Amino acid sequence: MQTRSPESETPEKSTSSIIRRIREFSLIGRDPVLFMSLLLSGIFIAVFVIFPLYKSIAGGFISKEGSFDLTYFARYFDDYYGPGLRRAFTDTMLMGLLTAASGTLVGFIFAYAVVRCNIPGKKIVHWLALVPTVSPPFALALAMILLFGRNGLITNKLLGISYVPGANDIYGLDGLVIVQTITFFSVSYLMLKAMLERLNPAMEEAASSLGAGRFHLFRTITLPLLIPGIAGSFLLLFVESLADLGNPLFIAGNKTVLSSQIFLAVIGEYNYQKASALSLILIIPTLVIFLVQRYYVNRRTYISVTGKPAGNQIMEKDPFIRWTINIITYLIIAFILLLYATIIYGSFSTAWGIDFSPTLKHWTMTVTRGVEAILDTTFLSVLATPVAAILGMIIAWLVVRKKFTGKDALDFTSNLGGAVPGTILGIGFIMAFNKPPLVLAIVVYAVLALFYGQVVGKKPAERVIILVGGTAAGVLLSTIHPPAMYYYLGGIYLVIAVLVLFTQKKKAFALTAALIGVYVMSTNWAVAIARPLANFSRSLERGFWSNALFQFSDHLKVIFQPTDALLAIVLAFAGVILMQNLSSRLARIGLGVLGLTVPAALSFTGVPFAMVGGAYIIMAAFIVRSLPASVRSGVAALQQIDPSIEEASNILGADAQYTFRKVTLPLILPALFAGLIFSFTRHMTSLSAIIFLVSAKWRIVTASILSEWEQGGVSIAAAYSTVIIIFVMIAIFVLNLMMNKLFKGRGSVDMSQGF
Amino acid sequence: MYLTLKNITKIFPPRGGVSEVTAVHNVSLDIEKGELVTLLGPSGCGKTTTLRMIAGFEFPTSGEIILDGQYINSLPPHKRDMSMVFQSYAIFPHLTVFENIAYGLNVQRLPKYEIVERVDRVLSLVHLEGYGHRAPTQLSGGQQQRVALARALVMEPKVLLMDEPLSNLDAKLREEMRTEIRRIQKELNITSVYVTHDQIEAMTLSDRIVVMNLGIIEQIGTPVEMYRFPQSHFVANFIGRANFLPAVVVEQREDFMIVKSHGETLRLINVKGKFSAGAEVSLIVRPEMVKIKKSGELYKGVIRRAVYLGDVIEYDVEIGGQLITGQETDPNVITLFPEGEEVSVGFAEGCIQVLQAEKSNA
């Protein structure tokens, strides 16, 4: 029984490794939950991240006539457009560098004050440092202008400065960098705070016991250990600064940067090719830094990310340094508070710059005319939030726990949607889903149908019958016009329900199928319910309630009328879950064909994936933007859970689904809550990604702030900003409260993962 | 045979810059019902991978796993009817002790009264009566260990798998749990596979020991066989300690063997294996087989190091240019030979085993 020398063999390497990968995939196939999670995240990312980004980038090379064209790249080198374009590019880079440097510096000062200087009111300082992350992207620019602008409270009113054209005012690169610094330094603060806390004091103690003086120690030990954090923060802020659209639009003055150029190309010129070309210019530095960050900086980290904060912190002993840092921190905090107070005050002042007396008229406007945007934004944000958080957890689970080919790609692309500038994503969404190619629907459907057939059918012959039968029936049904089609499709599910009830004796299955049937049919009834509501709202006196009711009738329609292609995806998965374990062959074929017919019909009716102008495209953009934050928070939580815990459940007889429900989910619930908070905040405050997606029917507050601002409605813009800040804070408060109730303090949200 | 591994090989595909790794190479093993088999070896020897393949957490690249006549290669863990005790215990932190132990029974949707009864029974088996309502965080390490064991035992599994279950306990507790696990395993007659890198654990627990190294099986045998008749230098060195004396075979007869080592002739009995005259071999001499006297033994030696350890006195003594370790086990002796002292060294020749000489490992 004795074996010897494993090295003596040279197996047929390359071919066997391919076979092994195929085997690996067939093993994944044996675990439907894993496969389903993989497909779900894969399809979402392929359709809503990769496809739009591809469209956005490729669009720069394709002229209106559809031929290959480099006009907008060539312009960088000609004499007419060249200088202006090149200046915008260098200004953009300069802005990025300055913001990154000053934001990191401010972040470091805050982190040092909180961790090492024992700053009085530490908790409050910490939370105030995070406030900029929950405010809409240009709130601070607005406040800066209200204070220091040409009619600014401080510049004009208090100091009596009146600007002549061309004078050095707040508008321009300087103002922009100040505003961006305040807007983005929180990220840097959180990163460096975590690093400082995890710095092992023994290292500094060792150095000082070896005779290193204070500055020598800081220079040779503390700083080098923090370098990865500082570099990481610098790169992140650089990217954030480049991607920022709101602040440049408000305060850049006559300077143009790439993000605002892109915005103007779309909004001002409807020139998507130009916008795409500019996007490519913007995305290159962003992507390079994203990659450097991921694959270089993160690997050079000396301090383990999972490490607990080291027990005893070294405190800054020198009172001069300590108080210098603390006072700078307090001053910045005071400045931040002043900015936010200005926003609130601005929303109540009669006519900023001329008449500062308080009035409620802007608020009346905001809650009557503006209620539409506020309700739309909140509704879509809320609806998208659980989807983003749950999808984030699923991806995190796959990335941390599962081994499969393409795992790195999933990890990378799930982060991509949040990492690229939002404007680029927005353009991509418009280009991708305005007239989406049929091939997109075909590919998505094919993948889903193959998976469906694989799981539902048990033998090759069954699978072929299910695939061919279901697809043919579906395509046939898709030619029937909408109202009738939905009745047929809903009817199919009702038939499934009845069949299951009598042949399979599975009540829960039958009930679910019946509910799906009714839901599909209700697509037709939504209008019938919504119209009387809308009519009733019109009969009311114009005001808050009539507008709110009218919006509510629209929101009802969103719930009952999902985009066909999306409903198809959901129903394909529902079919797999319901029909994965049918015992008789007849049932498998019969129910299998029926179950596939519905998604097939939905995939091919009308123009699948035509989403522009609707609510779902905005929600998809929200989710793509907030996904990285919830993935990160899930990854952080899962990495702290011993993988054997899931294996223990598995070997005790629980399958992946049971394990996830009973073990993994309860353990990552705090992270899920964190994901909910991050997602909702991101949704409510996002501007760049959705600015091109808003429509007359679906208004978003951030976009309304911009248009109010452009029309001179400064106070209404301020009121809108206040509303967003308040809503986000309420949401955070409520979710925190719920979590404390649920876990009685057992779990805590690690906010640092969210940014 | 109850559980059979047939030519199991596991190759981890290259991933993330790490090249392909052959973790387990052509391992075959038969385990009888009710037997406790230990997989013993240094870290990275493939013992844990082998265990995880039995559990179903990893699938073999080639080879077969057969349980109770059923081919289980592709069965997922939850359908294998096994249970496992993990190195980290893997107690569900959000469930109480009772809920932890009842977890697998709940999966099977057993009636409530049966669950309560079985959990209570297993709680008393591991001496944790009355701890059911506690949260895992309120338990000591040893108690958590017992919960993990109880959770595995309550399933009445076909095979109980244990992955270094005692490595997180302190020495005293480890000794206690070792005896405890063996008692329960025998009482319930559970077929068990136990992974450890601790040879004493393996010796005290096992019916049979499987020593693995670099992904292959070095030797399988009872504790006595492993210690007395090691079949490789690795096993001789890994289980207990050994001096390897270079020797040349003079002749081998039916019941004895004459070898020459360091210029002296030795007459060995009980030698396993056949060696031709003139073959270069290693003699395995364990420290307790070395007799160090003032005079009257075969070899002349010089004491190079002497340490009083309480239960034994340990010497490094040089004979023929080789340092060998020997022990004085007579409790009456309390005066040590000083370093540099010339002594007379002999061996318990009836215990010496012979191996083919290995060039690197003299």
Residue B207 or residue A160, greater confidence? B207
Mean local confidence (pLDDT), A87-96: 89
Q: Shortest CB distance from B90 goes to which of A17, A408, A642?
A: A642
B238 Cβ contact partners less than 8 Å away, ≥ 6 residues apart: B40, B41, B42, B199, B211, B213, B218
pLDDT exceeds 60 at position B141: yes
Q: Residue A201, Cβ neighbours under 10 Å: how many?
A: 13
B128 Cβ contact partners less than 8 Å away, ≥ 6 residues apart: B97, B143, B146, B147, B150
pLDDT exceeds 80 at position A82: no
pLDDT of residue A310: 47
Query: What angle is formed at CA B187 by the lines to CA B183 and CA B189, rounded to 5 degrees?
Result: 115
Per the CB < 8 Å rule, is B214 touching A6? yes
CA A526 to chain centre: 29
pLDDT exceeds 60 at position A744: no
Contact, B315 vs B325, CB < 8 A?
A: yes
pLDDT exceeds 80 at position A543: no
Q: Which residue has the tokens 């002739």?
A: B265
Tens digit of each residue's pLDDT (9 = 90 or more) over B50-85: 999 999 988 898 999 999 989 988 888 888 889 999
CA distance B236 to B222: 14
Cα torsion B93, B94, B97, B102: sign:
negative
A403: which chain B residues are within 8 Å (Cβ-Cβ)? 15
What band does B31 get if pLDDT is binned at 50, 70 and 90? very high
B interface test, pick of A652, A655, A664, A665 with most B CB neighbours within 10 Å: A652
ipTM above 0.90, yes or no: no
Q: What share of chain A is helix, strand, coil (3-state, %, to 5)?
A: 75, 0, 20
Phi, psi of B65 (to 5 degrees): -120, 125
Contact, A511 vs A602, CB < 8 A?
A: no
Percent of chain A with pLDDT over 70: 90
pLDDT of residue A560: 82
pLDDT of residue A28: 55
Tens digit of each residue's pLDDT (9 = 90 or more) over A188-226: 998 888 888 877 777 777 777 787 777 788 888 788 888
pLDDT of residue A312: 61
Contact, A644 vs B162, CB < 8 A?
A: no
Average pLDDT, chain B: 90
pLDDT exceeds 80 at position A65: no
CA distance B323 to B200: 26
pLDDT of residue B54: 93
- To the nearest whole Å, the CA of A406 is away from the closest chain B CA by 11
Asked which of A85-89, A233-237, A533-537, B16-20 is least confident by mean pLDDT, the reply is B16-20
Q: Sheet holding B3-12: strands in order across?
A: B21-31, B3-12, B62-67, B70-71
pLDDT of residue A490: 87
Query: What angle is formed at CA A656 by the lines to CA A652 and CA A657, rounded to 5 degrees?
Result: 110
Query: Measuring CA to CA, which residue among A681, A706, A677 is closest to residue A694?
Result: A706
Mean local confidence (pLDDT), A569-598: 84
- To the nearest whole Å, the CA of B82 is away from the closest chain A CA by 7
Query: Measuring CA to CA, which residue among B100, B141, B104, B107 is closest to residue B123?
Result: B100
Q: At what angle do helices A319-348 and A82-115 cross, to 10 degrees?
A: 120
Q: Which residue has the tokens 């619930």?
A: A669
Q: Which residue has the tokens 């199991």?
A: B8
Asked which of A242-251, A382-391, A536-545, A636-645 is least confident by mean pLDDT, the reply is A536-545
Q: Shortest CB distance from A651 goes to which of B14, B55, B87?
A: B55
| pTM, rounded to two decimals | 0.81
pLDDT exceeds 50 at position A747: no
Q: Shortest CB distance from A31 goes to which of B76, B93, B219?
A: B76
Query: Measuring CA to CA, which residue among A698, A717, A719, A695 is closest to residue A706?
Result: A717
pLDDT of residue A321: 86
Tens digit of each residue's pLDDT (9 = 90 or more) over A666-676: 888 888 888 88
B136: which chain A residues are within 8 Å (Cβ-Cβ)? none
A1: which chain B residues are within 8 Å (Cβ-Cβ)? 28-29, 217, 220
Query: Measuring CA to CA, which residue among B39, B40, B78 is closest to residue B56?
Result: B78
CA distance A559 to A254: 44
Q: Which residue has the tokens 């995240």?
A: A41
DSSP β-bridge partners for residue B252 = B257
Average pLDDT, chain A: 82
Tens digit of each residue's pLDDT (9 = 90 or more) over A345-403: 888 887 777 777 788 888 888 877 788 888 888 899 999 999 999 999 889 988 888 77
Mean local confidence (pLDDT), A415-431: 87
A301 Cβ contact partners less than 8 Å away, ≥ 6 residues apart: A228, A229
- The gap between the terminal CA atoms of chain B, to the nearest Å, is 39
Say which DSSP state A222 is in. I
pLDDT of residue A252: 79
Q: At what angle do helices A585-604 and A564-579 cross, to 10 degrees?
A: 170
pLDDT exceeds 80 at position B332: yes
- Pure H helices in A540-584: 544-560, 564-579
What band does B208 get if pLDDT is binned at 50, 70 and 90? very high
Phi, psi of B316 (to 5 degrees): -105, 120
- To the nearest whole Å, the CA of B221 is away from the closest chain A CA by 10
Measured between CA atoms, the residue of chain A closest to residue B78 is: A653
Mean local confidence (pLDDT), B17-45: 90
Measured between CA atoms, the residue of chain A closest to residue B99 is: A662
What band does A745 get if pLDDT is binned at 50, 70 and 90? very low
Per the CB < 8 Å rule, is B55 touching A24? no
CA distance B312 to B326: 10
- To the nearest whole Å, the CA of B70 is away from the closest chain A CA by 18
Contact, A28 vs A34, CB < 8 A?
A: yes
CA distance A177 to A182: 9
- Residue A675 Cα distances to A240, A400, A752, angstroms: 20, 16, 11
Per the CB < 8 Å rule, is A644 touching B86? yes
pLDDT of residue A334: 93
B77: which chain A residues are within 8 Å (Cβ-Cβ)? 647, 650-651
Mean local confidence (pLDDT), A701-725: 86
pLDDT exceeds 90 at position A603: no
CA distance A245 to A278: 14
CA distance A720 to A726: 10
- Residue B171 Cα distances to A600, A682, A752, B238, angstroms: 64, 52, 40, 20
Q: Side chain identity at A135, as an amino acid letter?
A: S
B218: which chain A residues are within 8 Å (Cβ-Cβ)? 2
pLDDT of residue B26: 92
**Tokens linked to B88:** 């980290």
DSSP β-bridge partners for residue B281 = B247, B356
- To the nearest whole Å, the CA of A324 is away from the closest chain B CA by 44
B119: which chain A residues are within 8 Å (Cβ-Cβ)? none
Percent of chain B with pLDDT over 70: 98
CA distance A436 to A444: 13
Mean local confidence (pLDDT), A680-691: 87
Q: Side chain identity at A236, as an amino acid letter?
A: L
pLDDT of residue A303: 44
pLDDT exceeds 60 at position A475: yes
Mean local confidence (pLDDT), A609-624: 86
Measured between CA atoms, the residue of chain B closest to residue A19 is: B61
pLDDT of residue A440: 86
Strands B299-308 and B313-319: antiparallel
**What radius of gyration, in Å, describes the C-alpha atoms of chain B?**
25
A13: which chain B residues are within 8 Å (Cβ-Cβ)? 20
CA A534 to chain centre: 32
Tens digit of each residue's pLDDT (9 = 90 or more) over B229-265: 999 999 999 998 999 999 999 998 888 899 999 988 9
H or E element, residue B319: strand B313-319
- Report helix, strand or coil for B109: coil
Strands B257-261 and B243-252: antiparallel
Tens digit of each residue's pLDDT (9 = 90 or more) over A504-523: 777 888 888 889 888 888 88
Q: Side chain identity at A246, as an amino acid letter?
A: G
Query: Measuring CA to CA, which residue among A239, A208, A238 is closest to residue A221?
Result: A208
What band does A9 get if pLDDT is binned at 50, 70 and 90? very low
- Residue A194 Cα distances to A308, A672, A752, B243, angstroms: 10, 21, 8, 53
pLDDT exceeds 60 at position A301: no
Q: Which residue has the tokens 């009387």?
A: A532
Highest mean pLDDT among A487-491, A577-581, A712-716, B317-321: B317-321
B220: which chain A residues are within 8 Å (Cβ-Cβ)? 1
Mean local confidence (pLDDT), A412-418: 85
